[in-house]
Structure 1
Amino acid sequence: MLKTAIIAGLLVFICYGGNWLFGQTMIERPLVVGALTGIVMGDVRTGVMMGAALEAIFMGAVDIGGALSAEPVTASVLATTFAIILNVDQKAALALAVPIGVLAAFISMFMKNVVMNIFAPLVDKVADENSSKGLTLIHFGMWFLNYFTFSLVTFIGVLAGAKPMQTFISTIPKNLMAGLAATGGLLPAVGFAILLRMLWSKELSPYYFLGFILVAYLKLPSVAVAVLGIILVIVNAFRDKQLLDIENKQSKQAKQSGTQIVDHTDDATQEEEDFFS
């Protein structure tokens, strides 16, 4: 279990910390984190399935202003690890992922607003000294401290929380476990609802209802609906390009026509001046 805890901690550090190290690389998304966890834990199928389900939950979780959303990396690693190592039902593991993500988000808020502010005077001092080397060391030192904290939380959660979690799960009544499974099945719908609330518009509503009909009544799988969506995007892109070309052509013709009218007017004015002279 110690090896598993170390691997889980390293996954969080690499996926969460490495995401912003070279820019936004998207390796912190649950779909990627779940797949990587499944690879290193020896169950790729469960990792991919957990990652896809967690992506549906957390894709609408966005920090806006002072709003606090769940942190997906820690939740994805712990939930996927529990599902693979402890053989927890996948839907029950999904239900456990949300409170874990909220707890990790509070830790992130504490690190950014309290711990990192302790180093603010040191940053100002080094900046006044115009020491680029000192700023670089402080920057990467604070980066390591911040993401190492999440790795440590994950390490402790897997190492110390594995046996208690397994004991706790074994004592959960079947009815309660069924309720957790049902809740886990509803969470992706909540994630899509949050995302849809931000993206909803009258122009996009026909595509939403089209997708609903294809899935609910025609029973098409998600892959088929996704491929159909890509086809619609390509068709709309070609149509928009044609409309743009027509507008540019009409605008060019209008400019040429206006130029010709101005030229004729100048010729007429010159003829009048020559006549009266």
Structure 2
Amino acid sequence: MIGLAVMAWLTVLICYGGNWVLGQCMIERPLVVGLVAGLLMGDVKTGVIIGASLEAIFMGAVNIGGAISAEPVTATALAVAFTVGAGIDQGAAITLAVPVGVVTAFLSIFMNNVFLAFFAATFDKMAAEGNEKGLALQHFVLWFVKYAAFGLIAFLGVYLGAEPVAAIVNQIPANVMNGLNAVGALLPAVGMALLLQMLWSTELSIYFFLGFTLYQYLGLPMIAIAVLGVIIAVASALRDKEIFDLTKKGLATQAVSNDSVTSDEEDFFA
């Protein structure tokens, strides 16, 4: 189990820490984290499936300023580890792992606002002295310490919690387990609802109902609906560009006409 715990720690360090050291390249998204965890833990299919499920859940989670809604990397790593290592059902593993993301978010707030604040004066002093090597060294040391600490949550969660969690899950009655699986299946809907709450527009709502109708009543696969969405988006963009060009051309013609009238008036009164 310690090997699986190390893989969970490494997943968090690579995806959560690597996301920022490379300039927020979005490898902290659950879909990518699930792939990385699956590669490290030896079950890519399970990792991608769990990552896609958690992507739908955390898609609407947006961090604004110092406020952090949830941290999906640790939750994804734990869910994959619980499923691969402890044999827990995917729905139950997702349901158990999601609250860990909220706990990790509190740790992130503490690390950013309390722990790292102690080193602000040192950074300012090195910057004033022009000590570039010292700045780089302290930056990367603190980077490792910070994200290694986040990885410890995943490590301890797998090392200390996988077997007890698996034992507890095995004692759970079938009807309760069905409830956990149902909750796990509903969580992506909650994530999509959070996303729609931010993006909902009366003008664009017709496309949402169009996609729902195509999937629910016509039985089209998601890939086909996505392709249709891309076609509609491209057609709308081309139409908007044409309208913009016509409007711009009309304004330019009107400006030339106004200049001509002004010139004629100046010639008349000259």
Residues 122-201 of structure 1 aligned to structure 2 (within 5 Å): 122-201=122-201
Q: Give 1:103 deviation, angstroms.
A: 1.4
Q: Give 1:244 deviation, angstroms.
A: 0.9
Residues 244-255 of structure 1 aligned to structure 2 (within 5 Å): 244-255=244-255
CA distance in structure 2 between the partners assigned to 1:100 and 1:242 by the alignment: 49
Gapped runs of 5+ residues in structure 1? 271-277
Gapped runs of 5+ residues in structure 2? none
For 1:25-47, what per-residue CA distance to the aligned partner results, in whole angstroms no more than 9, with x for missing partners?
Answer: 01000011111212222222211
Q: Match for residue 52 of structure 2?
A: 52
SS at match of 1:161: helix
Q: Give 1:214 deviation, angstroms.
A: 1.8
The answer to whether residue 74 in structure 2 is matched with residue 74 in structure 1 is yes
Matched-pair contact (CA < 8 Å) for 2:87–2:166: no
Q: Match for residue 216 of structure 1?
A: 216
CA distance in structure 2 between the partners assigned to 1:171 and 1:53 by the alignment: 25
TM-score (norm 1): 0.92
Residues 15-54 of structure 1 aligned to structure 2 (within 5 Å): 15-54=15-54
For 1:106-136, what per-residue CA distance to the aligned partner results, in whole angstroms no more than 9, with x for missing partners?
Answer: 2212222222223233334334434222222
Q: Match for residue 236 of structure 1?
A: 236
Q: Give 1:65 deviation, angstroms.
A: 5.1
Structure 1 runs of 4+ aligned residues shifted over 4 Å read: none
Aligned-partner residue type, residue 46 of structure 2 = T
Matched-pair contact (CA < 8 Å) for 2:30–2:76: yes
Deviates most, 257-266 or 100-109: 257-266
1:98–1:39 CA distance, 2 compared to 1 (3 A): same
For 1:44-80, what per-residue CA distance to the aligned partner results, in whole angstroms no more than 9, with x for missing partners?
Answer: 2211111110000001111235644110001001101
For 1:154-206, what per-residue CA distance to the aligned partner results, in whole angstroms no more than 9, with x for missing partners?
Answer: 22222222221221111111111111100001100100111111111222211
Deviates most, 231-240 or 4-13: 4-13
Structure with the greater alpha carbon radius of gyration:
1
CA distance in structure 1 between the partners assigned to 2:106 and 2:156 by the alignment: 17
SS at match of 1:119: helix
CA distance in structure 1 between the partners assigned to 2:144 and 2:239 by the alignment: 49
Aligned-partner residue type, residue 82 of structure 2 = F
Q: Match for residue 84 of structure 2?
A: 84
CA distance in structure 1 between the partners assigned to 2:48 and 2:157 by the alignment: 22
How many residue pairs align between the two structures? 270
CA distance in structure 1 between the partners assigned to 2:37 and 2:130 by the alignment: 42
Calculate the aligned-residue CA RMSD, in Å: 1.6
SS at match of 2:20: coil
CA distance in structure 1 between the partners assigned to 2:2 and 2:244 by the alignment: 61
Aligned-partner residue type, residue 247 of structure 2 = E
CA distance in structure 2 between the partners assigned to 1:95 and 1:24 by the alignment: 27
Aligned-partner residue type, residue 199 of structure 2 = L
